[in-house]
């Protein structure tokens, strides 16, 4: 019987939650995301353990044939690819994106270069860090949007991220530099952010959910770090009903997703300029919120899956199909 390990910040280890959620934000994530998945996995016919500490994987790696980690960050730089890299080192199959693919697409600069290679429009951008700060002369006209270059966590994104002068953009970038966080500065595009969710199948032909868009009551329609974690109000998500926009975005998303394989699931974001409705590639997220109230899940519950349990089990089957055994039992 296949032994599977599920890793998440609030997952129980040996039946005990070692790191109980403390804030309202953490409780929301635990109750609507990590614990929901744990409940579904434990109902499956497979031998599934859960843990909240990567050290558990390191100490017990010989026991497992498949790992599913929903850890985004582990408290050190470039930690996004750590668990998958460990699995490669131990020769354990895993669910998600390979470390090299995730490193590419969650570098917002490199992901934009891939988009340009594929013929997708992107806003002008420049990167900087503590070691390589922004120059004093603006490389392109503003306004500007300043955010972390790596990962998908939206750390410190708030209304001050929208900078109307290059001087303000430099000041915001310095705040990130003080935290040792590399930065990307983009030309701000006034418009609406659309997300297209994709999930692979065993055949390799991905399922694509109808695009959803998000509106915020913050300046510039900015979705803040707190709003994305449901710790602040003022953000609403809607499924797009515009057939022409949906067809265009789904085509672009599939084209990009095909170029970033191997990857089991992702959300690809575009910014539609307010007046022309021109879509600009924004970024990729390969470890979005898979909770029952997240945009990724809701997009698929309105299209390809009848229940949250069916969706989670589909992802599990993608992992099981990677094992060096007959996959007939794991095919839908």
- Where does CATH 3.30.470.20 sit in the chain? 103-121+189-318
**According to the model, what pLDDT value does residue 329 have?**
39
Give CA–CA dist 83/92, Å, rounded: 11
**According to the model, what pLDDT value does residue 216 have?**
80
Percent helix, strand, coil in the chain, to 5, is: 35, 25, 40
Average pLDDT over residues 238-260: 97
Residue position matching structure tokens 């408290």: 75
**According to the model, what pLDDT value does residue 260 have?**
97
Q: Of 39-48, 293-302, 323-332, give the lowest mean pLDDT range.
A: 323-332
Alpha carbon separation from 224 to 7, 221, 232, 264, 323 (Å, rounded): 26, 9, 8, 27, 39
pLDDT tens for 171-198 read 999 999 999 999 999 999 999 999 999 9
The CATH architecture annotation of domain 3-95 reads 3-Layer(aba) Sandwich (3.40)
Q: What is the dihedral of CA 319, 70, 158, 301, to 10 degrees?
A: 50
Query: Which burial class, exposed, middle or buried, applies to 33 when counting CB atoms under 10 A from its CB (0-12, 13-18, 19+)?
Result: buried
Judge whether 92 and 61 are in contact, CB under 8 Å.
yes
The answer to whether the pTM exceeds 0.75 is: yes
Judge whether 197 and 267 are in contact, CB under 8 Å.
yes
**According to the model, what pLDDT value does residue 236 have?**
86
Q: Of 84-93, 187-196, 232-241, give the lowest mean pLDDT range.
A: 232-241
Its CATH class, for the domain covering 125-187, is alpha beta
> What is the CATH code for 103-121+189-318?
3.30.470.20
- Where does CATH 3.30.1490 sit in the chain? 125-187
| 156 vs 326 pLDDT, higher one | 156
pLDDT tens for 4-30 read 999 999 999 999 999 899 988 889 889
- Where does CATH 3.40.50 sit in the chain? 3-95
Give CA–CA dist 197/296, Å, rounded: 6
């Amino acid at each position: 019987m296949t032994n599977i390990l599920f890793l998440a910040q609030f997952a129980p280890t040996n039946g005990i939650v070692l790191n109980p959620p403390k804030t309202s934000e953490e409780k929301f994530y635990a109750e609507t995301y990590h614990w929901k998945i744990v409940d579904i996995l434990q109902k499956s016919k497979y031998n599934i353990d859960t843990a909240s500490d990567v050290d558990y994987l390191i100490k017990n790696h010989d026991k497992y044939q498949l790992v599913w980690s929903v850890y985004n960050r582990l408290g050190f730089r470039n930690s996004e690819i750590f668990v998958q890299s460990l699995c490669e080192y131990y020769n354990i199959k895993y669910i998600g994106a390979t470390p090299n693919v995730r490193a590419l697409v969650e570098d917002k600069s490199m992901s934009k270069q891939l988009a340009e290679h594929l013929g997708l429009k992107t806003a002008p951008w420049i990167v900087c860090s503590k070691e390589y700060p922004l120059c004093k002369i603006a490389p392109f006209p503003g306004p500007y949007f300043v955010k972390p270059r790596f990962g998908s966590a939206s750390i410190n994104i708030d209304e001050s991220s929208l900078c109307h002068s290059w001087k303000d953009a430099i000041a915001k970038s310095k705040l990130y530099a003080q935290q040792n966080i590399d930065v990307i500065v983009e030309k701000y595009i006034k418009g609406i952010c659309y997300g297209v969710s994709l999930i692979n199948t065993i055949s390799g032909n991905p399922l694509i959910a109808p695009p959803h868009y998000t509106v915020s009551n913050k300046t510039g329609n900015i979705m803040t770090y707190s709003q994305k974690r449901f710790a602040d109000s003022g953000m609403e998500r809607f499924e797009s009903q515009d057939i022409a926009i949906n067809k265009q975005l789904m085509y672009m998303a599939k084209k990009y997703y095909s170029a970033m394989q191997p990857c089991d699931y992702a959300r690809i974001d575009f910014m539609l300029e307010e007046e022309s409705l021109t879509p600009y590639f924004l970024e990729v997220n390969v470890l979005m919120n898979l909770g029952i109230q997240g945009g990724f899940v809701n997009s698929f519950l309105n299209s390809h899956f009848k229940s949250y349990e069916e969706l989670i089990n589909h992802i599990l089957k993608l992992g099981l199909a990677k094992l060096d055994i007959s996959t007939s039992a794991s095919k839908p």
